[in-house]
Structure 1
Amino acid sequence: MSEQPPTPAAKPVGAPEPEPIRWFGTSWVNRDNGYWPRRVAVSAGALVTAAAAVFVLRLGVEGVALSDNGGYLNALLTAAVAVCSMMAVRRSWKVFTEGKDQLTGWMAEDRSLGAVWIIGGAGALLTYFVRSLVEAPGEALKRASYERAVAQYEKRQAGRSGRPDAKAPGRGKRKH
């Protein structure tokens, strides 16, 4: 007779659920269900996409260089691409390490900076690649939040004794 694997314990009602991460779902909690192959695939995908973005930017810069507008315009365009990339790297790193709600000032969601984030997209993708070498981007934030929620839930559950679903005597009755 073969042994059956143990069935996972049913989660109690009200227990905190981990938030899914794009590309990883909730596999980041226990680092199971294909977490590692996905980490490798996401890292490789970010690197390939960043290379494609750099190639497209290079074509654009070379197109301007071929127009014979002078060295000043070429230098200005190269500097603009570099500045946009640095801004995108800084913003992306801050989102991955501190969370989107920590963005302030010029890094906050501002539609007028959309072109900056597009031009700096290669830098943001390289940031995603570097961060995915350490962990799934955003995993540390989600893990800290989830562990806090679990600790609070366990603390609330430890405070209950007897029948936790039953109401305390005298509660819920109205005195007239």
Structure 2
Amino acid sequence: MPIFSMHNHTRRQALQGLALVCALLLVGCSTAPSSSSSALLRSAASQLSDDQAHDIAIHALGLVGTPYRYGGNTPDAGFDCSGLIGYVYRHRVGTAPPRTVAQLNGWGQPIANGDLRSGDLVVFGAGPAPTHAGIYVGEGRFVHAPSTGGTVRLDQFSSGYWARQKTAFRRP
């Protein structure tokens, strides 16, 4: 029954109830979300399907051999490590990740080494000052843009330099 066709007493109660609901909604909107609710929202928003994760890995593998360029973020201009990650994620899933390695270190959710799947991020020197990042492609391998004068390449965690690095894993 519309509010305007109700009796005065009933209409007043309905309007008071509506005002209470609106007030509660406004109070809820004006408070900052707790860190646990923020993490829950990020978690829900950052889930990639298995197909998307696979597409990310395949696309990254297809860029092996592209020249390294500091600040680069396209195949034509070359890539630095975060530029490579940004390019692949934007083109495969429409997600624009943060631009720096330090920001990537906080993107998505941390995951354990045993839970890795293709498309996850690998962050080296993790902690307060991460230094490098790449995309996990399976079987202990990752694609990254490692250094000036080099090219995007495929490496293994267990090989030489990379085996000695502190590593963190993130799932956007």
TM-score (norm 2): 0.24
Is the radius of gyration larger for structure 1 or structure 2? 1
Q: Which has the higher strand share?
A: 2
Q: Which has the higher helix share?
A: 1
Where relative contact order (Cα < 8 A, 6+ residues apart) is larger, the structure is 1
